[in-house]
Amino acid sequence: MLTPKQQELLSFIQTRLEEGGVSPSFEEMKDALDLRSKSGIHRLINALEERGFIRRLPNRARALEVLKLPDAMHRDVAPVIPARPRAAPSAPALPIAANDVIEIPLHGRIAAGVPIEAMEGQTMLSVPAALLGSGDHYALEVSGDSMVEAGILDGDFALIQRTETAREGQIVVALIDEAEATLKYFRREGSRVRLDPANPAYEPQVYDARQVRIQGKLAGLLRRYN
């Protein structure tokens, strides 16, 4: 069963697809639902996708497909959001990834070397939606050079999908002894966890599995150029 906001967004997407064949941008969806932040739209999109009502078309920005509608929204019922007047016909517009930007929390700095504390903060970071998949995300600023051979440099912003589990070989945020966090490759060695760097100048870090808690896995990177 959908929440009122989920149903409202699904109706808006369906209406826009019927009108012009192109799904609305995050900004348009935010305005239509009268939300303050595009991160709210991102969460609604994720919820609809997880429930099988929509899907994102791969390798295309602003590309959503409605797979099904709840009984209350079959097209013999008026959509929740009335259709907007259509503009005069023009050449089809190509979706642009940069149009869809959402804000995710920036939770301080994380070590790509010796573990340091990942500080919680209230700062938000604007991120192209095309860099993020489903799920809840946050960002951390990378400190150190132990992951350079994985293309992760000092000062980069690591985009992290929240999760408490990881597969062998994934790059994860690992919280050690509930105090310090680091960004490393995740490996298991029996009852122990090995956190591998991507720089031969650094040694792997080995811990009892009870010392390590996964806080997320790497979903993407943002880099600043000065």
Rounded Cα distance between 158 and 144, Å, is: 12
List 30, 38, 184, 217, catalytic entry: 184
Catalytic pick among 11, 23, 39, 146: 146
From the CB of residue 10, how many other CB atoms can be counted at a distance below 10 Å?
A: 25
Strand, helix or coil at 66? strand
For residues 194 and 67, give the distance between their C-alpha atoms in angstroms, rounded to a whole number.
42
Angle at 107 (CA atoms; ends 171, 155), nearest 5 degrees:
65
Verify whether residue 11 is a known catalytic residue: no
Does residue 184 carry a catalytic annotation? yes
Q: Which helix (H) or strand (E) holds 138?
A: strand 137-143
Cβ atoms of 10 and 72 within 8 Å: the answer is no
Q: Which residues are catalytic?
A: 146, 184
